[in-house]
Structure 1
Amino acid sequence: MKLKKLRLKNFRCYSHETEIDISDLNVIIGKNDVGKSSILEALDIFFNGKPDKNDLSVVNDNSQIEITCVFNDLPETLILDDSVETSLQDEFLLNAEGDLEIKKKFPVSRTGSISEEAVIICEHPNNENLADLLAKKRTTLKLLFDELGINSEGIDQRKSKELRRAIRNHYYPDQEIQATNTEIKIDGRLDNEDNRKKIWTGLKKYLPIYSLFFVDKPLNDQDSDIQDPMKEIVKEVLKRDAISPLLEQLKDAVQKASTTMADETIEKLNELDSKLAETLRSNFPKEPSWSTIFKLTLEDDRGVPLNKRGSGMRRLVLLSFFRAQVENRRTSNAPNIIYALEEPETSQHPDFQLMIVNALKELAETNNAQVLFTTHNSNLAKEIPKEALRYAFTDNGGIHVENGTNPDGTDNADIIDRIIETLGALPDPKNKVKVLVFVEGENDVNGLINYSKLLHIDDDRIINLENNEAVTFIPTGGSQLKYYIEKKYLDGLLQAQVHIYDSDKQQYIDSIAALNAEGNPKKAGFNTVKPELENYLHHDAINECYREQNIEISLTQILDTEDVPERVAIAVHSASGGDWTAINPDPVKNLEKQKKKISRVKRQLNMAAIEKMNIARLRSRGGYDEIKSWLDKINEYID
């Protein structure tokens, strides 16, 4: 289950309802005091706590804070109020878009006290006889089932979902149920006998874990930016598939034994005062909070906890936590989690700033994690894909949050320009750049840089493109903000150009042919002889790079005509026992999942796999002379 949208109303500066799109990676940018941190804290309230009276917007319309979360990527089946599986669709708990939409309302009284209720906004059957169907427990459903005289043939009356389906079908005998947009209350001033409380308890187990880190907050023994990662480790472990059933067994055993002893006490009370005994019953009003029981900390060999060490050490641990999570979350059974950070660049060396952002980007690329962070740092923001950018700004007295790309995937140029202006993001001075190298995307940039390093080590006369100020890469489909800035900044300049495109699409071949036909001595174009840059890799290098990640694949010879990223993605997915053709039962979502996996593989191949290449392997793949010719042309223009 993943977060798709957030809506805020009457929360701090968000007086009017504001909708924020949430993707796997979300970087929130804006001027000071515009409400960036409020987005992260609103989510923390939704998942983990309650607001206080000062969170109510000073310009509010009904003295009620509202925080709404919309989720997609939902489980096909889940267990709610029974021990048998049902689905949100079968229970009519999805909105018109097929998503799970939960709104939490926090009315604030004149005295400042705050209450809470939660509702699901969904397309629910519009028959008034079904309005409270989810509120009824199985015994009540059975009574209603019998009262309506429903034929019991083929209906398992031990299952609440079967009884509810039969009752709905009774009122809609043609099974064409008419639904209307409805709010179904699931928490807040509900009687303990109301089945919706049980449904909400069951549903919460499927919501993502939300972990908020304030890197620069005050430190103490029990609440620090070091203690936080340790707490989140415990929270995540407790929700793992191998652990949570054991906790359920323990909870059931404790509750059963305690209830038995409580009932025995009531029986003895009945002997003394039967009227008083009749008013009593045993009940566990809250679910146990396992995360408060298990404590985890880090300390050195002297027993000194890390929160007593220097801030640099503490930040390094936080960085290491995220880097470790990249590896941990490659497993398919890791629970869904949302990581949120406020200004991760705080108190960090520039090298560590880049490392933590790269770790967060990689986390967001795993199957079951999402990342949100705020930043004022232009160098960090430049590394972010434009589709992940969120710009918060004031307009007509309200707060708005817009995306770096439009719904059709094109650049939202106005918003990107405003982000650049806010960050003060500028590239290097013009006179340093002598050659513009045009490629298709970020992976090609990484591939060319890494191959140039390999060839330069073998022959130092060959140019090394890493950190070379004379060369700027311009991906023609570049998604990161820095490429947008550089392309716009360098438009109209007279630097030499080298274009290197794949040959797997005719449009790339046509582009290079047209460019070379110009006869411009300051422009040179190349198509790869093989379909893509990944085709120059040796299969042993690919196998070794994944073996370091404890993923065992056994690729044989790479063919010049095949789609290497797809072949590797299938091999990696199969190594975990998965079926490439059935990652998701929905064909559209299955294709989306496949594309994400291929994208991650392309990044790995152009980074980690090339590091496993050597000159002998590159020559055996027939790539040495060709790649050298590209690099020589770049160097010629520099000289």
Structure 2
Amino acid sequence: MYISQIEIFNFRSFQQNVIEFNEGMNVIIGHNNAGKTNLLSALGLIFNQNQRYRPDVEDFNKNIPICHYLTKNEKGIYIPPKITISVWIQESSEFSNELSDDNNVIYAWRIIVDRPYLAKLTYEFFLPEGAIFANYQKDIQKLVDEKKDIEIDFWDLLKRKYIRKYISRIYGGDEKLRNRANSEELSKFDYQFLDAIRDVEKKLLTGKNILLKEVLTYFLDYQLEGENDAELQDEREKRYENFREESGKLIKSLKERIHTEPILDYAKNVGASIEGIPNFEGRINEVELFSALSLIIEKETGIKIPVTHNGLGYNNLIYMSILLAKMQMQCTDYVNEDEQKVFPMLLIEEPEAHLHPAMQYKFLKFLKQKLKEKDKVRQIFITTHSTHITAAVDLDEIIILNIAQQQKLNVSYPGKVFDLDSEEDKKSKAYVKRFLDATKSDMLFAKSIIMVEGIAEQLLLSCFADYVKKEKHIPVSLEDNHVCVVNISGRYFNHFLKLFYYAEQDPLRKSAINKRISCITDTDPTKRKIEKKAKNTKCFPFELQSNPKEYTYKDESTVLFELKQKQKDHNNIRIFSQLKGKGKTFEYELAYWNPTCQLLLTDYVSNRNELESLMSLYLDGKDLDEMLTRVKSEKLISKIKAAPQTWEEKEKKKALIAARYLQSVESNKGEHALELAYQLRKNLEKGQPVSFRVPPYIEEAILWACGQEEG
């Protein structure tokens, strides 16, 4: 069995939300305050029997309109705030995986009895009916009649007079029947929670620690398994007697070394010996001797150091291993039948704390192995901000909590957005799983995303946003708005965009991630000779329609055209590209809109002197013919001269600089972009910086991603 779903109503950040879980691993991600910790806490209200948390006024969801509580229902009463959390427990997808005790535990909670069975538990935190409920009605009516600061006064009244009167109940089966779940069955769930701020060293110092002592006791003579084996039983007894004999000698030796007469003299003098003469006697067993043990780390060199001298990351791993050992112990006959656990569940907040990426990967691999050994742990819930962890787990194991517009919580399942009956979607899912590495996993955590084709855009977008911010005096910092720039490494937007094709009413697309996406892609115009088997070749925009007798032309690529068509149905996604018929690529556009900005000329520009000359001539207002005399590429000269008459001279001059600039950085785009970002940053720091204009389509993409344009 496994916890297949939870519905949370009016608890902290959850107004009314349903979250579906996987049978084994569940990795829950999202930006800060999205509700990850609250989700684990909601599970704890039902399953954590050892430390039952009592909610307070601050645990109610404050986004529910106050009028909801100040309006009488059809029966003419005011309904007090209430927290409701329901979980569904489902039979394993493979019946053979079910353990024998599973059905016995959830038998009374079943709402579907046929296989696969389905059980339900519901936690409620509410104000009970009775005299206190009647008083609540009077106080709320008075509050409504006075019409003061109703919202403030309402929560103040609840905290001051009524929250301590609230009670909690856990019901099994249909909650309308109000059948309380038996605490004996609830205790069969082993809820082990490791919060984000944990001091594991205190729990690892010595065998005096309860957890460590329990685990050491369980594994004492663990190699002698088989309780029904008479030889093993005899060996256990033999070891016990041997220890008793040896420890007895130790106690005797210790007693002989203690000079007791001074102590006994004091006892006689104060009259403590009237009822008998005090003396010392003692025995020690294995468990008591555990207190003398200290956990140490033994290096390969043979050097031994205390665990407190170990790194925090390694100590966290050691503690988790001990905790898993305890979970294993509690599922066996070692503990009495009443205390045996049937369903061990492990919940971990931010396992990446103190763990470097390689250790995070190893830790995830270890946990997955434990899931296969069902006596260790049955279901795992992890909250994380680590892109390395999301890259290490399967796409189907990821659950995303995202605060969308109007503070609405959107729950997404990236592995479920693909239609596996479609060959295209199968291909897309395989591609995303393969290439969703630690870098691209940023898109799952960010508030909004800018997708780009290559490394140059990725390196420069943040700097461009700062220029837009300075120019327009609006808050468009990518960092402040939690916008991530993701390099798709080619024109594969469609594969990744399927993660974000959100549609609330669509059975498939409702699992998609509802956040703003800006896609920046090049128009890349092409031409093709009018002959059989001719292929499209890239061309400059001023070549379009320059020779219609020999070529056919496209003013934008097929990829861009298809992206625009698919985007029409998704309001959260926008495509940004250069002006059709005038633009070409990112680098071309940089120079076209900044034809005199020599900041663009880094050490990685191959024709720097030529471009400096062209920019100076343009600044001085020289004509096109004079500029062409400085160009070394005869092909480019002929193409500019053959441009259609619709191109004005000023446009041609800018296009000439842009085309030559593109040719000059083509082989060093990454290095050039890195150096250019540095130069542009330094320019911003000046009191009177050199003028630089962000290309309009990039500016629009930044504004959209930062929420500065309405959807």
The bucket for the TM-score relative to the shorter chain is 0.3 to 0.5
Q: TM-score, normalised by structure 2?
A: 0.36
Q: Flag the structure with larger Rg.
A: 2
Q: TM-score, normalised by structure 1?
A: 0.39
